[in-house]
Amino acid sequence: MKKILLIGTGGTIASAPTGEGLAPGLTTEELLRRIPDVKKACAVDCVQLLALDSTDIGPRHWRMLVECIRENYGGYDGFVITHGTDTMAYTAAALSYMIQNSPKPIVLTGAQKPIGFDTTDSRANLTDAFLCASADLPGVSIVFDHKVILGTRAKKTRSHSFSAFESINYPELAVVRDGVLLRYIRQECAAAPIFYPELNHNVALMKLTPGADREALDFLFTRNDAVIIESYGVGGVPQEGGFYDCIKTWKGRGRFAVLTTQVENEGSDLSVYHVGHRLKNELGVLEAYDMTTEAVLAKLMWLLARTRDQAEVTKLFYTPVAGDILWTAGR
C-alpha cells in the first residue's frame, strides 16, 4: 500500500461560512474524514502547514512547501497538497522549478465549493488527487475536475464552474474516469529530485493597455530585477509612449524584460510585426512563446536567484523545465 503525505494550506476546500464570507478552517484530518474510502487505497499522514486563502499565498509559503516536501521526501511515495484555486497555478509552477525531476507525484488540488457543502467538487477532487499521488505520475501536477494538468501549464480559466482549470498549449497528462487513471503522457524524471529552495521575488508583471505610457513600466523597473510585459496578440509594444526607450534604458542597467501575451492560447511570436521585431532583434528582449504567465513569473524568480549574468539568464530561460516551453520559433 502506497504511503501519501497530505499537506494542507487552506483554500475553499477547507473553508466554512463566516459572517464575512468563506474562510479556511478545516484541518487536513477533517478533510480526510470526509473521504473515508481513500484509506482503503493508501496510507495517509497529515500535515497542516498553512490555513490561508490562496490570495495570501506567495513565495515565502512556496519555500515552506518545498521544505516540508524535502524533509519528508524519503518517507512517502507521493504528496497531496490542498490549496485555494485562485493562486494554485502559480504555486504549481513555482514547485515545478523548485522541485525538479521528482520521480514521485506532487499533486495539488482544491475545490470551487467547500467540502462541507451538499453540492461540492471537493470530495471528487481530493479522491482523484490521492489516486494520482499513488500512481506512477512523476513531477508536479494539478488534479481538478477529473483532469491531470502539468504544473507549468495550468491556468485557472473559470471563476465559479467546477471545471476551473485548463492546460495551456499542452495536452492534459491524464484523466480520471470512474476511479481509473487514464494516462496519456508521463513526465520525465530522474532517480532523485533536485531541490532549489531559493527564489528572487523581485519580479513584476505589467499588463499592457491602450493609452499606457512608460511611467508605470519605469516604476516597476526601479523596484524589480525583471518585469514581464503582457502584450497583445503575438506580442509587441506601442511605438508611442516611450516603451522601447524605457526597456533599452533599464536593460542597460542590468534589468530583464520578458514579453508575453494576454492571449491564453497559441503563444507569442515577436518576429511577426515591427512592434515586436525591434524588441527581439535590437534589444534581445526575452520572449515567453508558449509559456503561461504563471510559469514565466515562477521561472524568473527561480533563475534570478541563481544568476544575474545576461547570457546565463537567457540560456536558463529558454531551457525547458518540466515541459514549460516547447515552441521557440524565430530564436
- Residues 272, 116: Cα–Cα separation, whole Å: 51
- Tell how strand 147-150 and strand 139-144 pair up: antiparallel
Domains of the chain, earliest start first: 2-195 (3.40.50.1170), 203-318 (3.40.50.40)
- Residues 157, 166: Cα–Cα separation, whole Å: 7
- At 331 the pLDDT is 43
Q: ∠ CA(66), CA(67), CA(68), 5° rounding?
A: 90
pLDDT at 216 over 90: yes
Query: In the beta sheet, which residues pair with residue 53?
Result: none
Mean pLDDT rounded to a whole number for the chain: 95
Q: What is the pLDDT of residues 36-86, one digit of tens each?
A: 999 889 999 999 999 999 999 999 999 999 999 999 999 999 999 999 999
Nine-digit cell string for 22: 468563506
Q: What is the pLDDT of residues 107-126, one digit of tens each?
A: 999 999 999 999 999 999 99
Q: What is the pLDDT of residues 121-136, one digit of tens each?
A: 999 999 999 999 999 9
pLDDT at 329 over 70: no
Number of neighbours of residue 105 by Cβ within 10 angstroms:
28
- Looking at this protein, which amino acid is placed at residue 84? G
pTM above 0.75, yes or no: yes
Contact residues for 163 (Cβ-Cβ < 8 A; gap 6+): 144, 145, 147
- Tell how strand 226-231 and strand 203-207 pair up: parallel
Q: What is the pLDDT of residues 263-287, one digit of tens each?
A: 999 999 998 988 888 898 899 899 9
Helices (H), 82-176: 88-98, 122-133
- Tell how strand 256-261 and strand 286-287 pair up: parallel
- Residues 3, 113: Cα–Cα separation, whole Å: 27
Query: For the chain, what percent of residues have pLDDT higher than 90?
Result: 90
Q: What is the pLDDT of residues 228-276, one digit of tens each?
A: 999 999 999 998 889 999 999 999 999 999 999 999 999 999 989 888 8
- At 277 the pLDDT is 85
Nearest partner of 168 among 330, 50, 296, judged by Cα: 296
Catalytic site residues? 12
